[in-house]
Structures are given as C-alpha cells and as structure tokens.
C-alpha cells in the first residue's frame, strides 16, 4: 500500500528512515531494517543525504521491498537533470515502489564531495508536477509513455521556519503541484510546532502531516545540527538534558516519546529518524501507540 492508502486505513502513519551504506556491504543495512519490520508502515531510504556519497535510494528501496517493507524512495533535485529524474521515476515504478519523497537536497558544501557541481535543473515542486504529468501518460515534453507510473508523492516542510507565511506559501504550491503527504524536518520546539499545525489545519490542507522525530544522541550532535543543517533549531534546554544524561539512549527514547505524545493530537503520523539507533524504534513505537 502507498502512504495515502495506509493513512485511510489506519489514520495514523508511522514511517522511519534508513541511510544506505557507503559501499556495497548490505549486512548493516538489513540489520537496521530488521528492527523496523512489522513495526512501521513504511521506510524512507535517503538519497545522498547531507551530500554524502552512498548507495542509491532506488536500489535500496527495491531491496527493502523484497525484504517485506514498504519503501519510500527519496529523490533529490540537486544531483540529476530532468532526463535522469524522469528515468528514475520510471525505474522506481517498474520495481514496485509506490511512494516517493521529492527533495531539493542538502548543500553540497556540507558533504564529502564539496567540489561536486549541483544540477538543480528542476526544483522540488516542479518535479512533483512532472511526476503528475507522467502519471497522466506523457513525459514533461509531451511525448507519450508506454505504461505510466503511479506514486503517492511526499514533500518536506519546515514547521518551525522563521517566516511561517513563506512556509505556508511553499506548502500551498507543493500541494498544487502534486504533494500527497508531508514529512517535516525534526520537531524539537513543541509549542512552536503546535502553532504551525494549527495554522496548517486552518488553511484546510488535507495532505497528511507526518512530524519528523530525530533521535538526538549527544550534545555534540545537537550543536552540529544547529550549526550545519538548514531549518533545524534545537533549543538549549534540550541540549542541557542531553548533557546531563547518564544513559544517552534512554534519554533519547524518553525525549522522542514526550514529543510524540505532546503533538499526537494535531498530526496524522510521525517520521522517525534514528540515524543508526534503529534498535530503539520498537520501544518508541510501543510506548506511543
């Protein structure tokens, strides 16, 4: 089932995220995937996240499908032109992938190949529109397709953006272009998120809103994210809690569960980003279900 079908069946969707290996050794990837099987509804596979060169999302999504998990293929506009983007959409479709998350892509400068050249032939909203066009039976230049893809199209949003009006405008445009659901950047400021969720509802947006929950491992990680990751703000009070934690994993689980319980009434699901601590996800799901 795609994300929309899962939502209509359950009304609360739980997705998680896996990063591909930097290489061809898949044993750690499948070990982490094993913690998610039977516990989450779908699993995103990142596409060169943080501009780090890794195995591709398309291949990993195909492997997850065979493994018994519903994959969400991430695709970034940073690295591919319109030919490659459309080809990847067709490739994902024939491999049985039914969900795609369309992203702009993190800045090249923060990754391991800072000399790489960005492409940005299309932006995220434009690519969503292209996918909808392809679903209608033609490519973006009007040439007919012999068989069409069908996807539940996801988009990202920043619920704690400094300018909410600009963010709402971006959301409205993405829905117009074809976004079916949203996965947010990490939620750390609960009150600020609630204000955003209230505005989202008042705007009449019907696309399911899945709140991003990042498991914070250490004060160092939190400070790095504040400094390097666009759109992320982790309050000092949370960093102080991390500094005092005797058991970092227990503290991370507790903080994630507290956030989910605090915002559950105003969201349609969560997107869990464990970043290597996937073994903690079963406990989080159990405590918040």
For 99-145, the pLDDT digits (tens) are 999 999 989 998 999 999 999 999 999 999 999 999 999 999 999 99
Tell me the average pLDDT across 41-63. 96
pTM for the model: 0.95
188 Cβ neighbours under 8 A, 6+ residues apart: 160, 214, 232, 233, 234, 235, 238, 259
Give the pLDDT score at 13.
98
> In this structure, which long-range contacts are made by residues 120-125, counting pairs with CB atoms below 8 Å and at least 24 apart in sequence?
120/77, 120/78, 121/77, 121/80, 121/81, 121/82, 121/85, 122/77, 122/82, 122/85, 123/77, 124/77, 124/155, 124/156, 124/174, 125/155, 125/170, 125/173, 125/174, 125/177
CA distance linking residue 43 with residue 24, whole number of Å: 20
Report yes or no: 57 and 85 within 8 Å, Cβ to Cβ: no
Which residue(s) pair with 15 in the sheet? Answer: 42, 271
Model confidence at 83, in pLDDT bands (50, 70, 90)?
very high
Give the pLDDT score at 84.
98
256: pLDDT strictly greater than 80: yes
User: What rounded mean pLDDT belongs to the chain?
Assistant: 95
In the structure encoding, which two tokens stand for residue 20, read together? 């591909």
Q: Is 227 exposed, middle or buried (0-12, 13-18, 19+ CB in 10 A)?
A: exposed
228: pLDDT strictly greater than 80: no
In the structure encoding, which two tokens stand for residue 289, read together? 């279900």
In the structure encoding, which two tokens stand for residue 257, read together? 């569960």
- For domain 3-288, give the CATH number: 3.20.20.220
Give the pLDDT score at 230.
67
Model confidence at 227, in pLDDT bands (50, 70, 90)?
confident
| pLDDT tens-place string over residues 161-203 | 889 999 999 999 999 999 999 999 999 999 999 999 999 999 9
The per-residue DSSP string of 219-233 comes to: HHHHHHHHHHSTT--
Tell me the average pLDDT across 44-57. 96
131 Cβ neighbours under 8 A, 6+ residues apart: 89, 100, 102, 149, 151, 153, 178
The half-sphere exposure of 47 on its side-chain side, counting CA atoms within 13 A, is: 22
């Amino acid at each position: 089932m795609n994300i929309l079908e899962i939502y209509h069946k359950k009304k609360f969707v739980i997705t998680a995220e896996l990063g591909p290996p930097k290489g061809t050794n898949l044993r750690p990837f499948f070990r982490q995937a094993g913690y998610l099987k039977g516990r989450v509804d779908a699993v995103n596979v990142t596409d060169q996240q943080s501009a780090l060169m890794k195995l591709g999302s398309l291949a990993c999504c195909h492997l997850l499908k065979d493994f018994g998990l519903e994959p969400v293929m991430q695709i970034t506009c940073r690295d591919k032109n319109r030919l490659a983007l459309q080809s990847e959409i067709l490739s994902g479709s024939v491999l049985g992938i039914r969900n795609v998350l369309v992203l702009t892509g993190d800045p090249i400068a923060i990754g391991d190949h800072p000399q790489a050249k960005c492409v940005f032939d299309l932006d995220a909203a434009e690519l969503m529109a292209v996918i909808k066009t392809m679903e209608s039976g033609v490519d973006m230049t009007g040439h007919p397709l012999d068989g069409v893809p069908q996807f539940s199209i996801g988009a990202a949003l920043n619920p704690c953006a400094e300018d909410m009006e600009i963010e709402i405008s971006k959301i409205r445009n993405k829905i117009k272009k074809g976004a079916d659901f949203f996965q947010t950047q990490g939620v750390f400021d609960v009150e600020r998120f609630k204000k955003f969720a209230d505005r989202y509802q008042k705007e009449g947006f019907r696309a399911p809103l899945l709140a991003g929950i990042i498991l914070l491992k250490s004060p160092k990680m939190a400070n790095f994210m504040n400094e390097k990751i666009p759109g992320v703000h982790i309050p000092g009070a949370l960093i102080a809690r991390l500094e005092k934690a005797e058991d970092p994993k227990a503290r991370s689980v507790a903080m994630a569960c507290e956030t989910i319980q605090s915002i559950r009434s105003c969201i349609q699901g969560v997107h869990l980003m464990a970043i290597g601590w996937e073994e903690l996800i079963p406990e989080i799901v159990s405590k918040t279900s």
